[in-house]
Amino acid sequence: MPAASVNISTALPLDPAICGIYNPPVLSLTSDPQDPLITRIQHWGLGNLAAALLEHGGAFAHLVAQSLYVAEPLLAAWLSESSLRAFAGMMEDPSQRQALADALRDPQP
């Protein structure tokens, strides 16, 4: 008889009030220029570097996507499964990578 598949978050529910666990906000995974992550990267002065890596790192982006798929069971403790898959999908799609690069390159006033 095969074992039933159980999601770790349902198998081990943790109450932050009891455990003292804090999960900071994670990537919103959009190319919206108002996205806090994009704003933070631009504030650090890394917008152009990140944009260049996204535009010219095609093989690297695919490696990142595949690594996320492989590490998904481990990363799911900190990030939602849908967020991980969305980011991996973004890294695999050249048009989405380009949209994110454009958003990173254009600083907000």
The model's pTM is 0.58
CB 64 within 8 A of CB 89: no
Is residue 71 in some structural domain? yes
Place of tokens 């890394």: 46
Reading the chain (109 residues) residue by residue, the pLDDT tens digits are 454 444 444 544 555 554 444 444 444 445 555 677 788 888 889 889 989 988 888 888 889 889 989 998 898 888 888 888 888 888 888 888 898 889 888 765 5
Is residue 91 in some structural domain? yes
Is residue 44 in some structural domain? yes
**How far is 72 from 49, CA to CA, in rounded Å?**
26
Is residue 98 in some structural domain? yes
Is residue 10 in some structural domain? no
Is residue 21 in some structural domain? no
Is residue 15 in some structural domain? no
Q: What is the DSSP string of 41-98?
A: HHHTT-HHHHHHHHHH-HHHHHHHHHHHHHHHHHHTTTS-HHHHHHHHHHHH-HHHHH
Containing structural domain, residue 41? 30-105
Look up residue 48 and give its amino acid: N
Domain tally for the chain? 1
